[in-house]
Amino acid sequence: MMEDDGLKELLDEFKKESNSLIRELEELLDDIEDDFSKKDKLNNFAQIIDRIMGSAQSLSTFGFEQVEITKLGDFAELCKQIGYRGANLNDEEFYNVTVAFLFDSIESMKKLLTSIGSETQVVKISDLLVSTFLSRLKWILDQFEVKKISKTNYTKAQGIQMKSQDEIDALLKSLSS
């Protein structure tokens, strides 16, 4: 466990806020599941998960040396990219695959959050993101490239910086190491 009470308090607050955001994400996905007309709500998904990503990245600057926190931030970044791209799909079948994948991702995030900072329940992101899951993640991201869903008018208008394929590949590589 952490030696510094201040760091422990920061971590506990991060976990509490992240779990609250995950509940929001689950409700959002429940609402849009199998309803292609609500695809724009994936932009909301991306904005919410961006808060988890930013907090995880901030924690690493406060002296948290747990690799799992950094990888959680990278994982959230990839889910954010999928959310923004999914909001711009014109393929209902692939939309349903995207939403299902995001549900699975949120489940993995919940497990990881439970274990971060815990002496008794240590779950490594590498255990959660087994090769099958990482293959699915890469496949879904590749499909967005095939379908030419990347930098869209929405993201340009909102000033959202979308990752290039090389940046996405680097994030994927960081998760698998």
- Domain residue spans of the chain: 5-176
Q: How confident is the model at residue 2 (pLDDT cuts 50, 70, 90)?
A: very low
Q: How confident is the model at residue 140 (pLDDT cuts 50, 70, 90)?
A: confident
For 43-94, the pLDDT digits (tens) are 999 999 999 999 998 887 776 656 678 888 888 999 999 999 999 999 999 9
C-alpha dihedral (26, 122, 7, 3), degrees to nearest 10: 160
Instruction: Determine the pLDDT at residue 154.
Output: 44
Highest average pLDDT, of 24-28, 79-83, 97-101, comes from 24-28
Beta carbons of 39 and 86 less than 8 angstroms apart: yes
| Arithmetic mean of pLDDT, 116-121 | 67
Distance of alpha carbon 86 from alpha carbon 82, whole angstroms? 6
Measured in degrees and rounded to the nearest 5, phi and psi for residue 88 equal -110, 15
For 34-45, the pLDDT digits (tens) are 999 999 999 999
